[in-house]
Amino acid sequence: MEEHAEQLRHSLAHLLAAAVKTLWPKAKNAIGPAIENGFYQDFDMGKTVISQEDFPAIEKKMREILATWHAFEVKEVSVATAKKHFKDNPYKLELIKDFAKEGKAITENDPGNFLDLCKGGHSQNPQKELQNFKLLSVAGAYWRGDEKNKMLTRIYGTAFATQKELEAYLKQLEEAKKRDHRILGEKMDLFTISDQVGKGLPLFTQKGTWLRELLNEYSQSLRAAKGWQKVWSPHITKNDLYKTSGHWDKFGGELFLVKSQETKDELVMKPMNCPHHQQIYASKPRSYKDLPIKYMETTTVYRDEKAGELLGLSRVRSITQDDSHTFCMPDQIEQIYQELIDVTKIFYETFGMPLRARLSFRDPKDPKKYLGEVSLWKKAEDILLDIAKKNNLDYFVAEGEAAFYGPKIDFMVKDSLGREWQLATPQLDFVQPARFGLEYIDTGGKAQTPVMIHFALMGSVERFLSVYIEHVAGNFPLWLAPVQIAIIPISDKHFEYAKKIAEQFKMHDLRFKMYEENDTLGKKIREAEMQHIPYLLIMGDKEIAASAVSVRARGQGLPAGRQGDLGQMPVEAFLEKMKTEISEKQ
């Protein structure tokens, strides 16, 4: 986030806190950071319930208070002074205690009439710069993200430097609401989430399953063409596997545990596939002649995500990864990365989603977060930087975003609304192979540790679908559409002809829906259009006489020239048209 925007939004979090505490004097504010495109502030509201209906009053009070503010004055104070100033706020007192324990300076700020605990980074001209804001939503959030703590009220807002930018963003949000994958998923009958199954555990219908399988088939075909081969691993494992890999210490709280009634062994629902694939590698001796060894597996992993963070398909507990793991020698890294970058570019170009690359490196200020030697990390990061430059990637470096065992290239994908999502990730790993004692014999007969490269093309099928459904607003291209063709006979007497056409489509593996209901033609067409079916075929007396179909293309999501009423077309010509568009992935 650009520094000025961050200061503006963080300042507005203070302004929100001031307004809420003025309107509800017993409210206690906790934290209020700037976030992407906005800010939020957490409150302990006691028995008071805040809703969006309160936003106009809060915004009005924010503007009244803003008229009295000047540049934020930040000063360092003693622990005793800070405790005195915030003696009635347990959240501030807890932060003060932690800061003191860590040896951090205690700083307060005040823009004129609202003292708060904060390290700084504020607007120096609040009355001028904090004008363009809007409160957006309210949600629950546990204090410090811990479910053992009290649930607080979190109010979200957005803010920009200009009114024009604010209005553009609000317009984007309105469009995003129409494209919400949860709403479209229900309307188009793609997936459902059952309370009896559990939160974050989506169930996919026949149509949703078509999407999953077609996406996976395409993902695997691109990698298979570059030499990756399928493997399979079980969904549970002994916890020792993840203790060796380092995942147990880092993510133990996110693991689902399973107890064997027979052996009393403690097992784990697998949260990732890499340790399993390493065991396949370790199952027999390897030589430099065998490398690179390329495994791929599309399988579901399980992570105990916090209930408050679960959201449709974008954040789930059952995560299906189109995963790959490559074991190679150091001098093969660049070639493997080149292949993965090529695959990523082809895949996302197919879906019309431009890319840029985030080079996710370790945070040098917090080395305890990462496994492995600093020299290996430096070597790995230099390799990724060199690869990004040689490929002319649109890239930027993000310190602190690396996995605990290695740096990575996170491909950031832009959707049709201009929003950016992190999806595909090739990740370099010098650490885990050594922890598992993996080896290969080099040209000199010596044992060496292979390099491991993790890669998921979609990231996860669920997350990719959440992004892609909204990207196309449910208007899937013909090759991917769960239902490609709506067969619509005008009346009962045209059903037999429609059934003959349907048989031809079945022989060509086309996916269709026959509208046999005794509804009006208009109602059938509206229903097919609501389901975003790419092609509607109308069949009546004229079509029967001509051995043809009348073709109507969906209004959105098809290339120019293929939309609207395309007129009457011989059945064979229509079949040829379908064959061409599907093969070209249109």
Active site residue 579: no
CA-angle at 376, arms to 371 and 382, nearest 5°: 120
- DSSP 8-class letter at 512: E
Q: What is the C-alpha to C-alpha distance for residues 130 and 254, in angstroms, rounded to an integer?
A: 39
- Catalytic, out of 116, 323, 410, 415: 323
Active site residue 386: no
Q: What is the C-alpha to C-alpha distance for residues 287 and 493, in angstroms, rounded to an integer?
A: 70
- Is 118 assigned a ligand-binding role in the annotation? no
- Catalytic, out of 274, 358, 471, 532: 274
Beta bridge partners of 133: 159
- Catalytic, out of 10, 223, 454, 532: 454
- Catalytic, out of 41, 321, 484, 531: 321
Active site residue 85: no
Sheet containing 548-553: give its strands across. 512-514, 485-489, 535-539, 548-553, 564-570
- Catalytic, out of 61, 207, 270, 325: 325
3-class SS at 76? Answer: strand
Q: What is the C-alpha to C-alpha distance for residues 293 and 276, in angstroms, rounded to an integer?
A: 14
Q: What is the C-alpha to C-alpha distance for residues 529 and 486, in angstroms, rounded to an integer?
A: 9
CA nearest neighbour of 500 among 555, 456, 539 = 539
Active site residue 325: yes
Quickly tell me which residue has 């209906």 as its tokens.
53
Residues 6+ apart with CB under 8 A from 271: 242, 247, 251, 254, 255, 256, 301, 302, 303
- Is 235 assigned a ligand-binding role in the annotation? no
Active site residue 408: yes
Active site residue 508: no
Taking phi over 0 as left and psi of -120 to 50 as alpha, with beta for the rest, 162 belongs to beta
- Is 181 assigned a ligand-binding role in the annotation? no
Quickly tell me which residue has 């319930």 as its tokens.
49
Helix axes 55-66, 3-23, angle to 10 degrees: 110
Q: What is the C-alpha to C-alpha distance for residues 441 and 409, in angstroms, rounded to an integer?
A: 29
CA nearest neighbour of 457 among 339, 376, 308 = 339
Active site residue 146: no
Q: Which ranges of 352-420 would DSSP assign to H, the alpha helix?
A: 374-390
- Catalytic, out of 303, 435, 524, 532: 303
- Catalytic, out of 154, 408, 435, 554: 408
Bind-site residues:
274, 325, 454
What residues are designated binding site for Zn(2+)?
274, 325, 454
By annotation, the residues acting in catalysis are 274, 303, 321, 323, 325, 408, 454
